[in-house]
Each structure stands twice: as C-alpha cells, then as structure tokens.
Amino acid sequence: MSHTFSLPLEEALPEREAVFQDQGIPADVEVSARIESIYTEALEMFLPIGRPTGLWTPLSPTEFDGIFSGAGLNDPDAPLAKIYPRAANLAIFALTLGEEVSARIEQLFSSQEFALASMLDSIASLAADLAVARLSQDFARQLLDEGLTQPNHHVIEYSPGYCGWHVSGQSKLFACLKPEKIGITLNSSYLMSPLKSVSGVLVDGPAEIHRFKPTFSFCRACQTFSCVPRMRALDKEITA
C-alpha cells in the first residue's frame, strides 16, 4: 500500500549557513552585501513555489531484490547489497519539490542569471534533502506505532546513481512505485522530471547494518562524501 506525504515548505527550509556552504562559502567567511541580496532574492522566489510532496511504499527484501538489481549494472561492491537483506523494514520512495521550482531554475540559467540560478538551485537541493529526512521520520514513526521496529533503529535512505547502485535501478523502482501519481516522470537516461526530485529506498534497521568503510573504487569519484559524518555518528552510538 502506498502512502503520500506532503510537508509545509517552512519545515524543509535549509539554514542560511548551509546554503552558503553549498555555494562554496565557508561559515567563517563574511558574506558580501551582493551575495546576501542574491540569497534573499532566491529565497523569496522559492517560498511561493516550493511544494514538497512524496510517496512511499513498503516492501520486503525479496520484493526489493529485483529493483536493486535493475539492469544488472550495479558495482559488485555496492554497500546496499549487504545492507538491505539485513533490514527490519524497507520502503521505496520518491519526493519532489514540484515543477515550478525546477522550471524557475532552468529559466534563470537560460536567461544567464547564473548567480541567482545557482543560489536557488542550492536552496532547492538542500530543501529536498530536508524533506526526504522528514519523510524518513514519518516512515520510522509509522513503523514504531505499528510495533514493527525498535526505538534504537535508524532509517537511512539510499538512492540509485550513488554508492555503486547503478542509476538504471530507477526503471524498476518507478515501475513499482509509480511516482507519476505525484508528478515525477523518468526519461530514457533515468533522469527525473522535475529535476528537484529524489528517489530511493528507506532502510530501517540497527546502526550496525548501515556501517561500512567508504573505501570502494567508486568513492574516488565521490563529490560529497556524505556517508562520512553519518558513519561517524553511527560509530559513536555503537561504541557508547
């Protein structure tokens, strides 16, 4: 059974510092008046058009096997291969900020307003991540309410196109989840439309199952190393 999700935009707004950091401006650097005004303009543009909407469907590890395998192009070291079979619960999901946000970013780039386009892009990307975190919390809360999980479990999301899970996994994920219902479509290059959308699998389980060393060959091309702070937090919890 599918569950829909929507969130007031105010609850998915990134911190100002996080936006500047995404723009490559470290927290200890003073922001110029021009950059500050671009930030304000981008935020004012975003507020009336961002609409976080999501969809998730629980499924068993066996049902997820075929989705994860996709077109058979996953890296043999993809950590998710060892994580999801040990999960207590799984759900595939998709979430979008809506067509208007992506259209506005594209329009700004087309009219060569690069600084404003890039600032709006940062705000939207971070908002999408925060909205996915809230969707994960909803999933965790529902599992707890139904007595299907433990309070010390973690729900972590993994997405096709990252960490060795080939992006072609999107095809089967979309065929099963049907995110067209909330306005997300997939093109032949597995790119989602609207662009500011996220999809993947929510994995619920104890901290141990989510731990791995990010030393895979594909990590050399990683631009975010987003698993590193997460791994530190999990390690801390396990050794506490």
CA–CA separation, 202 and 84 (whole Å): 9
Q: Minimal distance in Å, beta carbon 154 to ligand SF4? A: 16
Q: Minimal distance in Å, beta carbon 157 to ligand SF4? A: 12
User: Nearer to ligand SF4 by C-beta: 75 or 99?
Assistant: 75
Contacts (CB under 6 A) with ligand SF4, residues 189-228: 214, 216, 218-219, 222, 224-227
DSSP readout, 38-78? HHHHHHHHHTTT---EEEEEEE-HHHHHHHHHTTS---TT-
Q: Minimal distance in Å, beta carbon 127 to ligand SF4? A: 20
Contacts (CB under 6 A) with ligand SF4, residues 63-92: none
Contacts (CB under 6 A) with ligand SF4, residues 144-163: 162-163
User: Nearer to ligand SF4 by C-beta: 61 or 214?
Assistant: 214
Q: Minimal distance in Å, beta carbon 160 to ligand SF4? A: 13
Going from the C-alpha of 230 to that of each of 188, 205, 225, 234, the distances in angstroms are 32, 14, 10, 6
Number of residues that bind ligand SF4 (CB under 6 A): 11
User: Nearer to ligand SF4 by C-beta: 114 or 225?
Assistant: 225
Going from the C-alpha of 32 to that of each of 20, 104, 222, the distances in angstroms are 11, 24, 30
Q: Which two tokens stand for residue 127?
A: 């908002």
The closest alpha carbon to 158, from 22, 67, 53, belongs to 67
Q: Which two tokens stand for residue 228?
A: 């590193």
Catalog residues that contact ligand SF4 under the rule CB under 6 A. Answer: 162-163, 214, 216, 218-219, 222, 224-227
